[in-house]
Amino acid sequence: MSVKALLTASVIALSSAMPALADQANDTLVAAFNKEVQTLDGLYSTSRENLILSYLTSDQLVDLNPETGEYDGALAESYTWVDDRTIDFTLREGIQFHDGSPVTVEDIVYSFEWIADEDSDTRRGAFIRGWFESAVAIDDRTVRVTATNPYPLMLRDIAVFVLTRQAGAYGEGDTDSLTQQFNGTGPYRIVGFEMGASVTLERFEGYYDGGPKHEGNIETIYLRSIPDWGTVTAELLSGGVNWSFNVPDDIAQDLGALPMADHTTGVSTRVSFLVLDAAGVTDPEGPLTNVLVRQALNHAVNREEIVEFLVGGSGRPIQTTCNLGMFGCDVEVTEYEYNPERAMELLAEAGYPNGFEFELTTYRERPIMEAVAADLAEIGVTANINHVRLSALSALRGDGELEAFQNAWGFYATPDLGAISNYYLEGSNRNLHHDADVEGWFRAALETVDQEERAALYAQALTRVADQAYLLPIFQYSQNYVHSSDVTFEAPADGLPRLNEVSWQ
């Protein structure tokens, strides 16, 4: 059934709408998630829903300011770089866990050590083990964190991956201790959890002042998992839900046109691009090993129309794997405007006047990938789409069987090109260009904290990548939010919605 039909039928009946639980009178915001919250412990999940929840319930030493791209002290009042691999964090006074116990340096040290411990099986540990050496209490307010080597994303990793846990929270290594009973440090505390269905949060009155996070406008936030967008729509119309995110563009626009709902669009840090087998991993003589062919493919895709008609909202065409305002991206690279004629000339020059066939493995946004294939067909190139789950794509990628594949990278909302190094480093199976220079530049940029030097290295690398058309960048995602009209919500600059900042009108 079409959403429009659903909306039309529902609007007729608005006058008899169901009395709402989610409203200003109860000071309860009901937020609908399309996916489930599996655990209260953000260390054991990588889902977007858990990131949103963890932002409300857990504070870290530092917090990314999406406006400035800087890391502000959170549990840490301040931090100091001792040298290029050591940072001293000074804790605030009077900070406490939701159970009222104070946050101490022992808790911080325990958190680092638990996450870095392989036996803890956290989903975050693998991100910090590459650089983490030690966390040591210097005095009762200072923790010294040391890296094995200079690592420019140290603060990012601490802000995103090192969620603070009370010392001994996991007992003798019981990894699911906090799955259902959670004691955090964030502006909201958990008062109810129905695994996979709902989480009830209450504003934490003991939250510290002066931190980077808003202390929370609304008393109670109720997170519900509603997997079907038709049902979310009905709940919004009947007053059962106030807010939702990741809403498909067509549904968001239809809902936004109604008097009782608003549609807000903002950027997502996620970018979508194709990785082309330039190195000939699958076939040393394959057409994609020819730079002219790769340039032709880049000219053949009409990014503007894809963004206008299929991505919508705040999406934008891209020529590099970069977000707006991201560190390392301030460089002008070769741009491939939509030009099928030029693409066909390049193909002819490369020895493929009649085009060729290749296999394109994808896992997201099939309609968009079909549009890309249709654009390529216009120049005689047949992209046979093999649309699979991400896990299947990863398995094929690990076996070196992908001629070309789609990827959508979210950067963990990090405004730094270093967060996508995966596609450019030697030994990574996501790197299908094997360009030693590019690999070297990206490696060097990850081993220095000198930002000027890093910027220069990234400029060289991005220029080469674009000139050689190793990738086929397509678009940056849009994030659609729909909320009831009695709610004030601003789309975040980094794509991570902060429900503590939502307020009633």
Partner 1 sequence: MLKFILKRLALGLAVAFTVSLATFLMLNLAADPASMVAGEDATQDAIEQIRVQFGFDRPLYVRFFEWIGNVATGDFGDSYYWNQPVFDLLIHRAPVTLTLAAGSLTVTVGVGLTLGVLAALKPNGWLDRFALSLGTAAQAIPNFWLGLILIILLGVMFPIFPVSGDTSWKHFVLPCIVLGTSAVPQVLRLTRTGMIEVLGSDYIRTARAKGFRPRQILFRHALRNALLPVVSVITIQIGYKLGGSVITETVFALNGLGRLAYESILGADIPTVQMLVFFFALIFIVLSILGDILNAWLDPRMRVE
State the CB neighbour count (10 A cutoff) for residue 170: 20
Nearer CB in complex with partner 1: 138/395: 395
Nearest approach, Cβ of 422 to partner 1 (angstroms)?
Answer: 5
100/171 with CB nearer partner 1? 171
The smaller minimum CB distance to partner 1, of residues 210 and 427, is found at 427
Q: Which is nearer to partner 1, 137 or 408 (by Cβ)?
A: 408
Helices 366-378, 291-300: inter-axial angle, 10-degree rounding: 110
- Contacts of 463 by beta carbon, 8 Å cutoff, 6+ apart: 331, 333, 334
Give CA–CA dist 501/491, Å, rounded: 10
Closest distance to partner 1 from the beta carbon of 290 (Å): 26
Q: What crossing angle do the helices spanning 451-468 and 436-445 adopt, rounded to 10°?
A: 160
Q: What share of the chain is helix, strand, coil (3-state, %, to 5)?
A: 35, 25, 45
Q: Which two tokens stand for residue 291?
A: 């730079």
Q: How many CB atoms lie within 10 A of CB 245?
A: 26
User: Least distance to partner 1 from the beta carbon of 265, Å?
Assistant: 22
Strands (DSSP E) found in 332-410: 357-362, 382-387, 404-409
**Distance in angstroms (rounded) separating the CA atoms of residues 407 and 417:** 16
Strands 28-33 and 243-245: parallel
8 A C-beta contact, residue 39 and residue 45: yes
Residue 490 tokens read as 């601003």
Minimal distance, residue 105 CB to partner 1, in Å: 27
User: Strand, coil or helix: what is 166?
Assistant: coil
Nearer to partner 1, 6 or 87 (CB): 6
Q: How many CB atoms lie within 10 A of CB 394?
A: 15
303's enclosing H/E stretch is helix 303-306
Name which of 117 and 378 has its Cβ closer to partner 1. 117
Q: Which residues bind partner 1 (CB under 8 A)?
A: 1, 6, 9-10, 12-13, 16-19, 36, 38-39, 41, 44-47, 118, 121, 123, 125-127, 129-130, 175-176, 179, 194-197, 224-228, 230-231, 234-235, 237-238, 240, 389-392, 394-395, 398, 408-412, 421-422, 425, 427-430
CB of 103 to partner 1, least distance (A): 24
Single out the residue of 102, 101, 109, 78 nearest to residue 91, CA to CA: 78
> Among residues 75 and 393, whose Cβ is nearest to partner 1?
393
Q: Alpha-carbon torsion 264, 265, 266, 271, what sign?
A: positive
Of 150 and 340, the one with the shorter C-beta distance to partner 1 is 150
Q: How far is the CB of 392 from partner 1 (least distance, A)?
A: 5
CB of 14 to partner 1, least distance (A): 8
- Name which of 174 and 490 has its Cβ closer to partner 1: 174
Rounded Cα distance, 181 and 190, in Å: 8
Number of residues assigned to the chain? 505
